[in-house]
Amino acid sequence: MIYFDNAATSWPKPEEVYKEVEKTLRNCGNPGRGGHKMALGAGRVIFEARQEIGSLFNIKNPMRLVLTSNTTEALNIALKGVLKEGDHVITSSMEHNSIIRPLMTLKQKGIEVTIVKANGEGKIDPEDIKKAIATNTKMIAITHASNVTGTIMPIEEIGNIAREMNLIFLVDAAQTAGVLPIDVEKQNIDLLAFAGHKGLYGPQGTGGLYVREGIEILPLEEGGTGSKSESMYQPDLMPDKLESGTPNTPGIAGLKEGVKFVKSVGVDSIRRQEEKLTKILIEGLKEIKGVKIYGPQRVEERVGVVSVTLKDKDVGEISYILDKDFNIATRSGLHCAPLAHSTIGTLRTGTVRFGIGYFNTEEEVEKAIKAIEIISQKTF
């Protein structure tokens, strides 16, 4: 299998991830809920994961890092835990439904939502965000890079605006954690939601949310936390406040190893490798008649998520042929981001998406280009 669906979930994972998941599953108890060796072992694994992830994003206090089951959960906690009736939030037309759908629910509860429109390449103008700020604006919620066009958003500039205007800055790093440098201090990020199973090479079922000290946030779920067991009320201490119930210890253990792998290779090297492959893919696809590539053409302005259409050919059919005839995995359709497709003009057709990962090779990219060339000549 030539795997180009890394934007959905990365594959393969580093060998250590598989091994650590198995080891933990075979040996670990329930963390924070018992004093015996196995429970303590589980607690240690989770604390180490918090430290590893924390240091990758320059999070000083690992206890501000909440482990979730995916980015969606992290974003829901961030949006619903912070925004109250009468608050205003600014977001963009390039967001995934994991931001848009919770915001539509919040809108029904009296939260005002402004969706700043990106241009045809999926770029947001920070000036447009600045213009949208009102007296009741509380938060700016922006993806770090689009899952449809790969466009990298100007989060430094937006972060500066947020800091200057005293707004809470939420960044959706589903496509960028492990792929682009993230520094919550330098980038003024107050809330960082990320996936564990994409660029951090952990297992599915993992993700997280960083919550800056001082941000007032309520949990979405209450329950057993192993702390303040004598109380009928959710404890206020972090991360317990936002982490109820038995955690996914084996998954978190795997994520820890994924993050260690990312650090050992280095985010910069990963980025260079993905940039190189993305460049080859874009240059190659450009030469094929009928192919339209969405998002910025310059690789410096995008991550390795490449959406294409092929004249009037059905994108589902293209992905099907890529899989069946060429053993190439892509994803086709609307990628859970209808507004982004509206923005780039593909709401009706969808796109075929190539999601490049660190483990892809030049040879694989060449094969994909060749396959698209052959498909472009087919009639269907």
Within positions 97 to 126, which residues make up the interface with a second copy, using CB under 8 A?
97-98, 100-102, 104-105
Footprint of a second copy on 134-173 (CB under 8 A): none
75, 193 Cβ separation under 8 angstroms: yes
Kindly tell me which of 126 and 354 has the beta carbon lying closer to a second copy: 354
Q: Which is nearer to a second copy, 162 or 259 (CB)?
A: 259
Residues numbered 29 to 68 that lie near a second copy (CB under 8 A) are 29-30, 33-39
Binds a second copy by CB under 8 A, chosen from 52, 73, 240, 274: 73
Tokens of 66: 């909440």
Could you give the CA distance from residue 143 to residue 151 in angstroms, rounded to a whole number?
10
> For a second copy, which stretch binds (CB under 8 A), given 49-57, 241-249, 285-293, 297-305?
241-249
Of 163, 159, 166, nearest to 183 by C-alpha is 159
Q: How many residues sit close enough to a second copy to count as binding (CB under 8 A)?
A: 86
Interatomic CA distance for residues 244 and 255, integer angstroms: 19
Cα separation, 305 vs 167, in Å, equals 30
* Member of 137, 234, 343, 351 binding a second copy (CB under 8 A): 234
Q: Measured between alpha carbons, how far is 296 from 231 in angstroms, rounded to an integer?
A: 53
Residue 70 near a second copy by CB under 8 A: yes
Q: How far is the CB of 336 from a second copy (least distance, A)?
A: 3
Closer to a second copy by Cβ: residue 3 or 261: 3
- Which amino acid is located at 209 in the chain? L
Of residues 247 through 276, those in contact with a second copy by CB under 8 A are: 247-251, 254
Nearer to a second copy, 281 or 322 (CB): 322
Per CB under 8 A, the list member of 157, 301, 314, 323 interacting with a second copy is 323
Whole-angstrom distance, CA of residue 40 vs CA of residue 341:
47
325 binds a second copy (CB under 8 A): no
- By the 8 A CB rule, do 261 and 76 touch? no
Window 181-200: residues binding a second copy (CB under 8 A): 195, 197
Q: Is 91 in the site for a second copy (CB under 8 A)?
A: no
Contact window for a second copy (CB under 8 A) among 92-100, 178-186, 286-294, 306-314:
92-100
Distance CA 93, CA 140 (A): 13
Tell me how far apart the alpha carbons of residues 176 and 145 are, in angstroms, rounded to a whole number.
Answer: 7
Can you tell me which of 16, 18, 84, 279 binds a second copy, judged by CB under 8 A? 18
130 in helix, strand or coil?
helix
Q: How far is the CB of 283 from a second copy (least distance, A)?
A: 24
The torsion angles phi and psi of 368, rounded to 5 degrees, stand at -65, -45
Is residue 20 involved in binding a second copy (CB under 8 A)?
Answer: no
Q: Rounded CA gap, 210 and 278, in Å? A: 29
Length of the chain as a residue count: 380
